[in-house]
Amino acid sequence: MGIYQHIRQTWKKPKENLGNLYQSRLIQWRRDNSVVKIERPTRLDRARSLGYKAKEGIFPVRVRVLRGGRMRRRSLKSGRRSKRATGRKIVSRSYQAIAEQRADKKYTNAEVLGSYWVAEDGKHKWYEIIMVIPSHPSVKSDKNLGWISSGKHRGRVWRGLTSAGRKSRGLRIKGKGAEKVRPSLRANLRKAK
């Protein structure tokens, strides 16, 4: 079994396989800031599959997102009407897509390449985001990552072009039920969601 297969098997059940290491990481990560630049990826197999390389111009960032609070507030108009009192869930973006946007907001000179889940507890979720600096010479000359240096990829996380963003837009489903999703959420009389 290769090193990447071993890492992949370990992360299928991290609480059981990592044990005390998983718990000690959570204790440390709760004390850290919500957006932290890290030295190397926690899950090397996932990072490499997204296009991560240990070279200048590419760096991983760990982001903590607060769970819950995704319900619309009740209207505070006078009178009570049971029909309007139900909470409606906001599901326009996943926690992962929100984490990607927060990382992009902090590191304005970099673009989001992709992200993956690393941990969660009752209160938070943690994601690691692979960031790429498009203007860096080593990125421009890279045959696999050079495409991100093109101007049309600026702000790709805000336009739902990352993997998590495309999933939030419903672009992973095909066939029956996906007729209203393309070309965009606002097309087709906004019936996509």
What's the pLDDT score for residue 184? 85
pLDDT, tens digit, 9 for 90 and up, residues 153-163: 999 999 999 99
Q: Cis ω on the peptide bond leading into residue 60 (within 30° of 0)?
A: no
User: How many whole angstroms separate alpha carbon 138 and alpha carbon 7?
Assistant: 28
What's the pLDDT score for residue 50? 94
SS3 43: coil
Give me the percent of the chain exceeding a pLDDT of 70.
90
Give the pair of three-digit tokens for residue 149: 């240096």
> What's the mean per-residue pLDDT of the chain?
89
- Residue 74: pLDDT band (50, 70, 90) is low
Q: What is the CA radius of gyration of the chain?
A: 19
Residue ranges of domains in the chain, CATH in brackets: 3-73+87-157 (3.40.1120.10)
User: How many whole angstroms separate alpha carbon 58 and alpha carbon 18?
Assistant: 27
Of 64-78, 88-102, 149-163, 165-179, which range is least confident?
64-78
Residue 75 has pLDDT above 70, yes or no: no
Give me the percent of the chain exceeding a pLDDT of 90.
62
Reported pTM: 0.86
- Residue 88: pLDDT band (50, 70, 90) is low
Give the pair of three-digit tokens for residue 41: 């990826």
pLDDT, tens digit, 9 for 90 and up, residues 111-129: 999 999 999 999 999 999 9
Of the candidates 39, 42, 48, which has an alpha carbon nearest to the alpha carbon of residue 2?
48
- Residues making up the chain, counted from first to last: 193
